[in-house]
Amino acid sequence: MAQRMKGVLAPVLTPVRPDLTPDTERFVRHCRWLLDHGCSGLAPFGTSSEANSFSTDERLAMLESLVAAGLPAAQLMPGTGCCALSDTVRLTAHAVKLGCGGVLMLPPFYYKNIPDDGLYRYFADVIERIGDARLQIYLYHIPQMANVPLSLGLIERLIKAYPSTVVGIKDSAGDWNKTQALLKAFAPDFAVFTGKDAFLLKTLLGGGAGCITACANINPHGLHALYQAAHNARADELQTQVTKLVTLLDGRAYFVATYKGIIAHYAADPGWLAVRPPILELTPQQSHGVIRDLAALGFTMPGLGAAGRHDRPAA
């Protein structure tokens, strides 16, 4: 049986050039920094990655650039779930071929009020069309964006039909009752990742696998410290710090822009600010407010000097 993924995974932000094309160089550099600073894996093309703002071809090329740059495929869990069955199959087959440790799969998210039978048929069809024992699917439950929730009944059917393929879930709903129900029903064999920083400790103590959260893009070290200390005396204190940081960032500009703006500041690299519409980049005023509040919290991004570069080792 393939190894389940676990720990802190970052849904990697996708830097873009001024013309909004993917910026491969910054992308690779950020991925390396994340793995060097606490991430056990990377989930490129998640919600924080603006995944659905890029075409299938763009996503294929970006994933190839990571592997070509020497990032370990086994630690990659790219998002591959699209509205179109054909796109999902294409992205998923490609990820398997590259040796990725898993894929993170959104349900098809255009049609609403789809019965479980329809969603089951969709996932089953993707799995059958891939037809590869190496395929490891982590389902992606994020009803506040997809508006297509994944029920416990659906997940149970998929696990029963494809026990060595449907191996985990990212639960980003932000509803502890749902995460708890997933843990009780399926953990620890089935890897439950929380998408909410504030739930990391509870998830781990409940037998969960870890977290995949936007904040891992800037705080892989803090999340990793908590992951390591989950069963130690310092756990509560570390969870409090993690929660404090993400709470401070909530409710400002659109979260993708906020996280890109933070990297732009700490890496002293304004090239990181750009986002694809419909998301808008941080205004200088918004950026100033975020950075001021982060400084007050004593937040740092190790390995990025005050006037340093993203890939420069810590002084």
23: Cα within 13 Å, side-chain hemisphere: 21
CB of 3 to a second copy, least distance (A): 30
Strands of the sheet with 210-212, listed across from one edge: 41-42, 7-10, 210-212, 191-194, 166-171, 137-141, 103-105
Judged by beta carbon, residue 71 or residue 253, the one nearer a second copy is 253
User: Cα-Cα-Cα-Cα dihedral of 283, 286, 290, 291, to 10°?
Assistant: 50
> Residue 170 catalytic?
yes
Q: Is 302 exposed, middle or buried (0-12, 13-18, 19+ CB in 10 A)?
A: middle
> Residue 184 catalytic?
no
Judged by beta carbon, residue 54 or residue 272, the one nearer a second copy is 54
Tokens representing residue 31 in the block: 């991925």
CB of 44 to a second copy, least distance (A): 15
Judged by beta carbon, residue 86 or residue 232, the one nearer a second copy is 86
> Residue 110 catalytic?
yes
Q: Which residues bind a second copy (CB under 8 A)?
A: 20, 47, 52-56, 58, 83-87, 90, 107-112, 114-115, 117-119, 121-122, 125, 144-147, 254, 276-280
> Residues with Cβ < 8 Å from 118, sequence gap 6 or more?
none
Judged by beta carbon, residue 195 or residue 210, the one nearer a second copy is 195
Between CA 274 and CA 238 the distance in angstroms is 32
CB of 40 to a second copy, least distance (A): 27
CB of 6 to a second copy, least distance (A): 27
**Ramachandran assignment for 10, one of left (phi > 0), alpha (psi -120 to 50 degrees), beta (any other):** beta
Q: Which of 6, 14, 47, 260 is catalytic?
A: 47
> Residue 47 catalytic?
yes
By DSSP bridging, strand 103-105 and strand 210-212 are: unpaired
CB of 248 to a second copy, least distance (A): 20
- Report the SS3 class of residue 37: coil
- SS3 readout for 290-315: HHHHHHHHCCCCCCCCCCCCCCCCCC
Q: Which of 6, 14, 165, 170 is catalytic?
A: 170
Judged by beta carbon, residue 57 or residue 298, the one nearer a second copy is 57
List active site positions. 47, 110, 140, 170
